[in-house]
Amino acid sequence: MTDEWGDGTRAVRVGGPGHAPGDPFLPGPVFAGTYHLPGEPAGPYQYGRYANPTWTGLETAIGALEGAADTVTFASGMAAVSAVLLGLTGPGDVLVLPSDGYPATRTVGAHLAERGVEVRTVPTAGDELERALPGARLVWLETPSNPGLDVCDIRRIAELAHARGALVAVDNTLATPLGQLPLALGADISAASGTKALTGHSDVLLGYVACASAELADRVRSWRSLTGAVPGPMEAWLAHRSLSTLQLRVDRQGANALAVAEALLGRPEVADVRHPALKGDPSYDVATRVMRRFGCVVGFTLADADTARRFLGALELVADATSFGGVHSMAERRARWAGNDVAEGFVRFSAGCEDTADLVADVLRALDAASPG
Ligand SMILES: Cc1ncc(COP(=O)(O)O)c(C=O)c1O
């Protein structure tokens, strides 16, 4: 792979095989629980829980996009999150977590707290994060945060954290490696749920941990081998296949998200429209420094839970579903889940790859339908 290649070229080419006559463009999944292994254990593929050629192809591809020394794929985003948090902290360590990020990450933190880890939860934006760094062993950032869409300056936090001897991991789920490169900004780990925009078709659960050093990746991989939180070969192959359209998808989704956000700004019944690429958004200044693409998620608040329900029910092109990053637009009233500190009428909207005009028209029509009178 050439460093000078653009994002689209890299997304199409990463991790593919050579060009020998008869080679497929992407070899099919290898279904193997075990491998022939005569004599003493040797070679990369010894047992199905330790390694698989289909994972290797995907790990090479994601690693190239993230600029990683080595990458480890997992059965889901939470398997990846857990491997980092559980695998790299122990009793007496201090772990810094976002108070406004994906709630299940904090739940893992709560389990660690019961086992002697000091867990400090702080908002993604603002000064509190810097004040929480002294004594930390691991700093976990989620930027942009889900669902609040706050961002932090990864480069600055990484510098400050490293000066205090802490490791920095970034949840890169929302941005994807085409939107943000945490390792280039100084983080030690870029981890993500590949279930979302990375694979983008709402048909796969996947996670990964991309590491700046082979030593860190070895520790994460050992944790995976031990716990068995491995991706299925079919999922890994589907994920790799999806990468070739990553740039097309995230560009269209980002453009759609911005168009929806701008259309919502013009509506008096909609409050707190958030998207990192919106000029004037609290995240805009930092986001334009650390991100190259701004993701597909828009947050906004309607009057109350009933108005949000009516809005979601009136949408024709947008599924009421709890995820983001897919080619199909989707939205949900986020307060229907416990653990999210959001208003009852808060809607998390994920822009898909539909035509921009169709999507904006659907959103505005549903707003009309949801408005009383
Ligand atoms: C930011 C973030 N990290 C991690 C996860 C967990 O990913 P998964 O559902 O693939 O386990 C999610 C899921 O929504 C998420 O939004």
| Tokens linked to 208 | 């990964």
Minimum CA distance residue for ligand 1 atom 14: 323
Asked if residue 2 is part of any domain, the answer here is no
- Same domain for 230 and 138? yes
| Separation of CA 11 from chain center | 17
| Tokens linked to 21 | 């006559």
pLDDT of residue 373: 62
Total domain count, the chain? 2
Task: Give every residue of the chain whose pLDDT is below 70, as ranges.
Answer: 1-2, 373
Minimum CA distance residue for ligand 1 atom 6: 77
- Same domain for 30 and 108? yes
- Same domain for 171 and 288? no
Instruction: Tell me how far CA of residue 321 lies from CA of 10, 70, 300, in angstroms.
Output: 31, 33, 16
Domain that holds residue 345: 246-370
Ligand 1 within 6 A of CB of 146 = yes
Minimum CA distance residue for ligand 1 atom 9: 77
Ligand 1 within 6 A of CB of 332 = no
Locate the ligand 1 atom nearest the alpha carbon of residue 322 and give its number: 14
Q: What's the 193 CA to ligand 1 centre distance in angstroms?
A: 5
Q: What's the 300 CA to ligand 1 centre distance in angstroms?
A: 20
Residue 79, H or E segment = helix 77-88
Active site residue 171: yes
CATH code where residue 316 lies: 3.90.1150.10
pLDDT of residue 16: 78
Instruction: Tell me how far CA of residue 245 lies from CA of 11, 14, 54, 109, 158, in angstroms.
Output: 7, 11, 19, 34, 31
pLDDT of residue 371: 86
Minimum CA distance residue for ligand 1 atom 8: 77
pLDDT of residue 340: 83
Q: Residue 159, Cβ neighbours under 10 Å: how many?
A: 13
167-171 and 70-74 strand pairing: unpaired
Q: Which of 192, 217, 243 is the last residue of a domain?
A: 243
pLDDT of residue 1: 60
- Same domain for 159 and 199? yes
Give the DSSP letter of residue 297: E
pLDDT of residue 3: 73
Q: Which of 223, 243, 263 is the last residue of a domain?
A: 243
- Same domain for 233 and 337? no
Rg (CA), the chain: 21
| Separation of CA 214 from chain center | 22
- Same domain for 95 and 212? yes
Query: Considering 70, 102, 208, 281, which one is annotated as catalytic?
Result: 102
- Same domain for 304 and 173? no
- Same domain for 274 and 195? no
Which of 193, 209, 323 is the pocket-test mutation for ligand 1 (most atoms within 8 Å of CB)? 193
Q: Which ranges constitute the DSSP H helices of 154-283?
A: 154-163, 214-227, 233-243, 246-265
- Same domain for 178 and 67? yes
Residue length of the chain? 373
- Same domain for 238 and 296? no
Which of 84, 107, 195 is the pocket-test mutation for ligand 1 (most atoms within 8 Å of CB)? 195
Asked if residue 1 is part of any domain, the answer here is no
Instruction: Tell me how far CA of residue 68 lies from CA of 81, 133, 191, 192, 198, in angstroms.
Output: 17, 24, 11, 13, 16
Asked if residue 196 is part of any domain, the answer here is yes
- Same domain for 284 and 208? no
Asked if residue 78 is part of any domain, the answer here is yes
pLDDT of residue 130: 97
Q: Which of 243, 277, 306 is the last residue of a domain?
A: 243
Locate the ligand 1 atom nearest the alpha carbon of residue 174 and give its number: 1
Instruction: Tell me how far CA of residue 168 lies from CA of 37, 82, 171, 173, 199, in angstroms.
Output: 38, 15, 10, 16, 25
Please list the residues that pair with 331 across neighbouring strands. 320, 349
- Same domain for 158 and 26? yes
Q: What's the 66 CA to ligand 1 centre distance in angstroms?
A: 18
The backbone torsions φ and ψ at residue 79, rounded to the nearest 5 degrees and listed phi first, read: -65, -40
